[in-house]
Amino acid sequence: MQTIPPLSNIASSLYQFQRTAQWVAPASNPAYSESHQNLLKRFPLLNKIYHHGFRIGFELLTAGAIRKDGWQRKMVTKACRKNLEQVTDLALREKLTPDYQPMCKRLIMSSEYYQAIQKPNVELVTDKIVRIEPKGVVTEAGRLIELDVIALATGFYPGVDKQLPQMEGVNGMTIQQAWQDSVDAYRSLAVPQFPNFFMLLGPNCPVGNFSVISVAETQVDYILQFINQHIKGTFKAMSPKQDVTDQLNAEMKAAARNTIWTTGCNSWYLDKNGDPISWPWSGRQYRKHLKELRLDEYVDESSEPNATQPTPSEEPATAH
């Protein structure tokens, strides 16, 4: 949906094929004046206050809206519905109105989409796509829409279970086998019986709730604590205890059952069992969750012969 505004400015005819309507929250993207930029450069403390003030406000609003049906959720809903009112054609507005609550699926952030979708050269198509032919797209109603270019914006696979290289833990089990029934991790970073292995943005981390950059920085700080202890010779190889991991994940899943993600929609926030996979609490709680390395929650695996390494047939995972 966020590709529609810029494409509408260059295409003679633009068709958006919509499978599911999405809630769109207004999101301004103002240009900062040169004087504003110079002010922040001159006073770094002001820059920090500006940044953290925005982050705290965003996290308070988001965490509250996710957790309970209070004023934060009502504020988000009101903002989304008010944004939708830009669409003056009632039939088009109905097609663009989701049948679930805002934030049940991930919000689309745009202050330009509803203006773009109403342009005379833009059409919203809600008929199911049956096939693609040399001339264009054929819908379920039998309509052939002739196209020169097709821009695929059909989503992405958010899970980490199929993105990791082939690895074996201390018992010879691969990471994919360990996650066959449920994709769980210790504090979203490590996996029992996979010593000295850590990942960023793993299971149950707040990738859809808060800033990905902030979350990754918090995780890196935690992992560096582990690495520093390893360098000091405190241990050779350690992995999180299974019982501790199970307890932490049980607490998260129990808390997540009362969140906005379980109010009646199908989204990537849910795993194959219908359980939310994202962090159900605040950003402040997540930072507290990873503030301190708790070696008592790990088990020494140094006596095991197998190390957690990618097999020769797989290339190491890279960050994008």
Which residues contact residue 114 at a Cβ distance below 8 angstroms, ignoring those fewer than 6 apart?
Answer: 24, 83, 84, 86, 87, 96
Matching residue, tokens 């207004």: 26
What is the Cα–Cα distance from 32 to 36, expressed in whole angstroms? 6
pLDDT value for 311: 41
pLDDT digits (tens, 9 = 90+) for 179-229: 988 899 999 999 999 999 999 999 999 987 788 999 999 999 999 999 999
- Beta-carbon neighbour count of residue 287 at 10 Å? 16
Tell me the one-letter amino acid at 300. Answer: D
pLDDT digits (tens, 9 = 90+) for 285-296: 999 999 999 999
Distances (CA, A) of 274 to 63, 186, 253: 21, 20, 11
Q: Residue 9: is its pLDDT beyond 50? A: yes
Based on C-alpha coordinates, what's the Rg of the chain? 23
Show me where the domains of the chain are located. Answer: 4-146, 175-300
Tell me the one-letter amino acid at 88. Answer: T
pLDDT value for 303: 66
State the pTM of this model: 0.85
What is the Cα–Cα distance from 188 to 163, expressed in whole angstroms? 15
- CA–centroid distance for 223 within its chain: 21
Per DSSP, the residues of 109-125 read E-SSHHHHHTSTTEEEE
pLDDT digits (tens, 9 = 90+) for 235-280: 999 999 999 999 999 999 999 998 999 999 999 899 888 889 899 9
Burial (CB count <10 Å: 0-12, 13-18, 19+), residue 216: middle
**Are residues 138 and 284 in contact, defined by beta-carbon separation less than 8 angstroms?**
no
For 241, how many CA atoms within 13 A lie in the half-sphere containing its CB? Answer: 10
**Are residues 164 and 317 in contact, defined by beta-carbon separation less than 8 angstroms?**
yes
For 309, how many CA atoms within 13 A lie in the half-sphere containing its CB? Answer: 7
Q: What is the third-level CATH fold of 175-300?
A: FAD/NAD(P)-binding domain (3.50.50)
Distances (CA, A) of 264 to 18, 98, 105, 203: 20, 12, 10, 22
User: What b/e sequence results for 60-73 when a residue is b if at least 16 CB atoms lie within 10 Å of its CB, and e otherwise?
Assistant: ebbbbbbbeeeebb
What is the Cα–Cα distance from 30 to 149, expressed in whole angstroms? 31
pLDDT value for 29: 82
pLDDT digits (tens, 9 = 90+) for 111-165: 999 999 999 999 999 999 999 999 999 999 999 999 999 999 877 777 777 778 8
Which of 33-42, 175-184, 226-235 shows the lowest per-residue confidence on average (mean pLDDT)? 175-184
